[in-house]
Structure 1
């Protein structure tokens, strides 16, 4: 592909304009990576598409079928077969639906199995989208048997990095008693204020114990 100008080469074109801007032959050329002594990668891609009747025919071809085209070889044939198989798998295996946390009880049921019985205190945050579906869960800080130090900036840094629309804060009490301490109440107040300032809703702060929980939302404190 050295005969093409830099801007017209498939790799540079993809980086500049995105994969959707490339033709079928250019995408195939990128998978091939290189050509042969007879033709460059783009020429070889054109030949493959011609011989196999276009992209759909190429996708249905076996490694042996592809290898019969001069200049392809086993390695390039395997690359093409693998690429098309990955495409089929993305269609066949849709991503699992994300968990939606609609109530404090659902949030506690989601968190208790992993964090309810930890021997030291863990403070974390569940990042949520606009429909309160879980994006991911992140532990922000770990502490001792009865305390941990948490700053609102650490919580909302996670939220911003994860592009969260809302967050649900949580921490465990290793004693097993989920009753909030005065420090828990003050931290919740500060988190709610920081969330309001940043436009990221604090939907709840849940304290976890042994198979029990306390929700600031249920208690009317949020």
Structure 2
């Protein structure tokens, strides 16, 4: 049976737990805190090296928004460790989040409409993109274009640059039809297809495109078009 390298296999002055007890949690590096949660390494690397590799692969913002599936894909992180890490991240978020900060989660077209209700009465077409993390939390909202919207005018770079900058893993496209008819035009269909394909290449999912009219809306996802 293969024995995993554990924290207690490290020299005493390098053990994160002992360091935390002696100097306090603030004295520990991010990888040392992560090593305490991981507890054991793999057959080829001790737990501190495993934690260092994870931190080097995912910067602080990406680690904060990491998903269960991403953690499970890391060699040496099983489902139990993945759950413990996610629980610790969420605990820290809730304890130290400023009280005035309101988190917004997008789970349905109704949630999207709440965040883009101003588009209903707009007399010009506006193209807005909602940027979400792996847990569907809204992390950014950008107006990409104002005026006539067609497939040739909406460039994928303008849509996906903020996603890369904000470390979003999924996006929702939103635009309005001042005419009052939310049915997609040929340009809407072509533009959506182009952006979905670009998202697949970049690893950023386009999970819906919602067209808003005065009293109605059209969801590409609900109609099976995405």
Would you call these one fold, judging by a TM-score over 0.5? yes
Which protein is bigger by CA-based radius of gyration?
1
Which one of the candidate residues 151, 171, 179 is aligned to 2:155? 151
Structure 2, gaps ≥5 residues long: 1-25, 28-94
Change (3 A) 1:207 1:92: closer
CA distance in 1, matches of 2:190, 2:150: 14
CA distance in 2, matches of 1:179, 1:139: 21
CA distance in 2, matches of 1:205, 1:189: 10
Residues 119-173 of structure 1, C-alpha deviations (whole Å, 9 max, x = no match): 11111100101111111210011114x7682111210112112211110011111
Aligned counterpart, 1:100: 105
CA distance in 2, matches of 1:92, 1:127: 20
Structure 1, gaps ≥5 residues long: 1-19, 22-89
The yes-or-no answer on 1:197 pairing with 2:223 is: no
Aligned counterpart, 2:184: 180
Q: Structure 1-normalised TM-score?
A: 0.55
Please say if residues 150 and 188 of structure 2, whose CA atoms lie closer than 8 Å, have aligned partners that are also in contact.
no
Number of residue-to-residue matches in the alignment: 134
Output the aligned Cα RMSD.
2.4
Which one of the candidate residues 118, 124, 140 is aligned to 1:120? 124
The yes-or-no answer on 1:212 pairing with 2:216 is: yes
Structure 2 counterpart SS, 1:136: strand
Structure 1 counterpart SS, 2:179: coil
Aligned counterpart, 1:164: 168
Structure 1 counterpart SS, 2:144: strand
CA distance in 2, matches of 1:91, 1:183: 45
CA distance in 2, matches of 1:198, 1:135: 18
